[in-house]
Structure 1
């Protein structure tokens, strides 16, 4: 996790008020978390930190694209994502991150690492069903769709009249209900 040290925000030396932090996220960020669902990523993260006398308010805004495979055609495409997260950092006797929107840091803490929150915000901003935009509008041209169209069974050609076996016809005579 040494790659994630640049996501430490030292708040001790900051004056009270609003401060802006910007990060550019790419695939190497997700490799630190051993997450390989994205083929590539280009996400801009803006964090507005408002320092107050007893707490910190963090507002995360993400905007960008992640390259993911389509669930239907398995073709890679850039999926636009955006998301927001508000986090309140309070100070207490020990570290506690059980609540989604409140983080409690020990009184002696001098920095907060925001990498986990950025990671979760990006991953949760990606929809569970990822469909290529060209599939939705019907203009998708992929090798998989061409092969499926080529192998499509034409029902008119395959419907043939087959003669039944005379041995089975005798058994049908046993049915008295019809």
Structure 2
């Protein structure tokens, strides 16, 4: 995958101290990763890049909305997401990203691309189960919800079934209670 230029930070020319980077993330960003779970997205990622003498500290903050389909009704809705991530970059002999909070890059590097970290920050900020807020509070009117209600077992039928029992089963139930 080819890195996107706007997410490459050339840290050689930066002075020591805090530097701010802001990114507007839309659907084109996710199309680059071939990720199509979002119908639409409007996310702002703020990156605080702190350059120190021997390392860099990166603090990512993502906030915005993604339009996803509900897992229950398949109705699209806007889901608010908010997530943050802290990364330390150090220099070493070879590239090493085994630890998720520490990245070691070779001494000769002069820039770092943060697009993969932003992608993971956003995708992991979305809950695994996406339920439309109208389903939770009962205000959503949908054909799927009406069909689910029609097909669900009614309490009345369960009560009628319990009243009409075979007397042989009643004797067996008494065995459990007679302990």
Q: TM-score, with normalisation over the residues of structure 1?
A: 0.82
1:12–1:111 Cα contact (<8 Å) kept = yes
After superposition, residues 32-71 of structure 1 pair within 5 angstroms as: 32-71=32-71
Distance 1:79 1:69 in 2: 9
Which residue in the other structure is 1:123 paired with?
A: 123
Please state whether the residue corresponding to 2:80 is helix, strand or coil: strand
C-alpha change, 1:151 and 1:16, in structure 2 (3 Å) is same
How large is the Cα RMSD of the aligned pairs? 2.1
Distance 2:128 2:62 in 1: 18
Cα shift readout 1:91-139 (whole Å, capped 9, x = no counterpart): 0111111110000111111111100000111111111111001111110
Please state whether the residue corresponding to 1:12 is helix, strand or coil: helix
Q: Does 1:21 align with 2:49?
A: no
Displacement, 1:39? Answer: 1.2
Distance 1:60 1:152 in 2: 45
Distance 1:120 1:152 in 2: 38
Length, aligned pairs only: 159
C-alpha change, 1:153 and 1:93, in structure 2 (3 Å) is closer
**Which has the higher Rg, Structure 1 or Structure 2?**
1
Displacement, 1:68? Answer: 0.8
Gap runs ≥5 in structure 2: 161-179
**The structure with more helix, counted as a fraction of residues:** 2
Cα shift readout 1:119-162 (whole Å, capped 9, x = no counterpart): 11111111111100111111011232234456678777xx9xxx
Which residue in the other structure is 1:105 paired with?
A: 105
Which residue in the other structure is 1:145 paired with?
A: 145
